[in-house]
Amino acid sequence: MINMDKILDLAIEKDASDIHLIVENKPILRIRRELVPIEEMDVLTVDDMNDMYDYLVRGNIDKDEVFNSTRKLDTSYEYKNVRLRVNISLSNDIPLCTLRIIKSVLPPYETLGLPDIIRRETYQSQGLILVTGKTNSGKTTTLNALINEINETQNKKILTLENPVEYRHHSKKSLIVQKEIGRGRDSLTFSDGVKNSLREDCDILVIGEIRDKVTMEAAIEMAESGHLVIGTLHTKSCAETIDRMINFYEVRDQASIKYLLSSLLKLVVSQRLLPGRTGDLVLIPEVMVVDNIIAGIIRKDKISVSEIEDAIQSSDKGSIGLINSIARAFVDDKITLDQAKSQIEEKNIEILNRTIMQMKIRRDAGRQ
């Protein structure tokens, strides 16, 4: 019989980020990006997987109905004051499970390696701020660090829409309301939650993920009506984020949405996480502050990705280009040169080399 308590205890003890439970495999932990089987445990059987489902769902009728009707379940679970994000799905009609361990203590903003411009932009009275990146790029951690920072420093009402709620925030200087999205939870969909937030007198709306046009439209309406909206998108760069938002819409509607975005969008941060020299993960942020130049590019009939990237790289308004961010991580001895080069296109290698050289010259001059 599967011993879920032992699996969870080992995962927490070894500081794993994820747990994978799949039939005919031993329980597997992800530790610093590597998959590590729990060798002392038996291979999981079909009965084990059914027991795992019972352990995590525990007779919750709403969750059971969601799983039976959609063949998947995204939820949260709490074990010894540690929160876990749970995904249960099927493979060959047998349950399988991935659990993400949420750190019990949210790291302070200043320890994440993010520039101060992102924190400063949260003082905007209205507009749209986006945190983007691929899966496992640290978006949720950054989003919640921003919520915590606002909570400690600003007198605001913050409403969050999440699926599931990962970090539990307690009101400090701000008033915080957290809502979980899904059937049988606080709001059925993200778009429903955003629409209802217009009647809840919040100052800041946080959207766990903008997945579709309906949610994007509701977020823009919220920002237009005088609120600050902070959300996430699953995109790999700032330029791709602009492209994704515009392509939510039909061609005939894109001119008007470009105009709205050029005035409402305040900042986009696109994140990557790389394994560092010391074994820890290193955050590589690309930051786009929407200044007059970038706003003008967004309004163009045809948006050039390279034009946006060049504008970010050359900006003096707080934007940080990907090449600059990668070069800084290398010069600070956080990543290797091979890692740095692997993150950019071949055509930009020479620019990376020049940027590294310039940073080293400035660093050495400062030591004299």
The pTM score is 0.89
Q: Three-class SS of residue 53?
A: helix
Q: CA torsion angle for 104, 107, 108, 109 (degrees, to 10)? A: -130
> Could you give the number of structural domains in the chain?
3
Check pLDDT > 90 for residue 105.
no
Q: Quote the CA–CA distance of 176 and 163 in Å, as a whole number.
A: 17
Looking at the fold, whether 147 and 230 belong to one and the same domain comes out as yes
- Verify that 126 and 208 share a domain, yes or no: yes
Whether 209 and 146 share a structural domain? yes
The CATH number of the domain holding residue 218 is 3.40.50.300
- The pLDDT value recorded for residue 365 is 82
Residues 97, 233, 248, 85: what is their CA dihedral angle, to the nearest 10 degrees?
20
Q: Of 63, 80, 102, which residue sits at a domain end?
A: 102
Alpha-carbon span 149 to 274, nearest angstrom = 25
Task: Indicate whether 327 and 183 sit together in one domain.
Answer: no
Whether 235 and 253 map to the same domain: the answer is yes
Per-residue model confidence as pLDDT tens digits over 237-280: 999 999 999 999 999 999 999 999 999 999 999 999 999 998 88
CATH number at residue 8: 3.30.450.90
The verdict on 129 and 245 lying in the same domain is: yes
pLDDT at residue 104 above 80?
A: no
> In the structure encoding, which two tokens stand for residue 316, read together?
């003096």
Return the pLDDT at 364: 86
- Measured CA to CA, the distance from residue 269 to residue 279 in angstroms comes to 24
Check pLDDT > 80 for residue 58: no
Whether the per-residue pLDDT at 350 is higher than 90: the answer is: yes
Nearest 10 degrees: CA dihedral of 133, 138, 139, 145? -150
- Domain end, chosen from 77, 102, 127, is at 102
**pLDDT surpassing 90 at residue 101:** yes
286 plus 329 within the same structural domain: no
The answer on 132 and 49 residing in a single domain is: no
Residue 368: pLDDT band with limits 50, 70, 90: low
**pLDDT (0 to 100) of residue 367:** 72
**Are 198 and 223 contacting, i.e. CB atoms less than 8 angstroms apart?**
no
213 lies in the same domain as 275:
yes
- Predicted confidence at residue 106, as pLDDT, reads 86
pLDDT of residue 122 exceeding 90? yes
**Rounded average pLDDT over 15-36:** 95
Kindly provide the residue ranges of all beta strands, DSSP E only, lying in 188-313, ordered along the sequence.
204-207, 228-233, 265-275, 281-289
Same domain? For 96 and 242 the reply is no
Nearest to 319 by CA among 361, 285, 287: 287
pLDDT confidence of residue 103: 82
Terminal CA-to-CA distance of the chain, rounded, Å?
Answer: 65
Residue 49: φ, ψ to 5°: -70, -35
- Amino acid occupying residue 106: L
Do 187 and 243 lie in one domain? The reply is yes
For 126-236, list the strands marked E by DSSP: 127-133, 157-162, 175-180, 204-207, 228-233
CA distance 125 to 251: 31
Higher pLDDT, 146 or 364: 146
Single-letter amino acid, residue 335: I
Domain with 172 in it: 109-319
Q: Considering 39, 67, 102, which residue would you say is the last residue of a domain?
A: 102
Residues 249 and 266 in one domain: yes
* pLDDT at residue 308, as a whole number: 94
Quote the crossing angle between the two packed helices 322-331 and 349-367, to the nearest 10°. Answer: 50
